[in-house]
Amino acid sequence: MFISNAYAQAAGGDTTASLMGLLPLLLMFVVLYFVMIRPQMKRQKEHKAMIEALSKGDEVSTGSGIFGKVTKLGDTVITVEIAPGVEVQMQRVSVAQVLPKGSVK
């Protein structure tokens, strides 16, 4: 009485409408890739190359803001002199950047 009858609709074979429905999703993924994913992968590649190129005597800055000179190198650990006679060991990946020579005194 109060509820109207619901009838099944004929199955639609319109594939262009379903493809047009996926177009915004694909477009968002492409934009996301070029705006976020690709630049992050490029930064990771540059950081990895910088860490592998570290050598004894390089002046570095760590992620925590410590400046120092590399004195010993290991596979995953480096030793950095942060003051005369004060050396600390840290992981290679904690190096944020290699500084120009003469930056650390």
pTM above 0.75, yes or no: no
Task: Identify the structural domains of the chain with CATH numbers, from first to last.
Answer: 15-99 (2.30.30)
> What is the C-alpha to C-alpha distance for residues 65 and 105, in angstroms, rounded to an integer?
15
- pLDDT per residue as tens digits for the range 47-73: 999 999 999 999 999 999 999 999 999
Task: Please write the tens of the pLDDT for every residue from 62-103.
Answer: 999 999 999 999 999 999 999 999 999 999 999 999 999 988
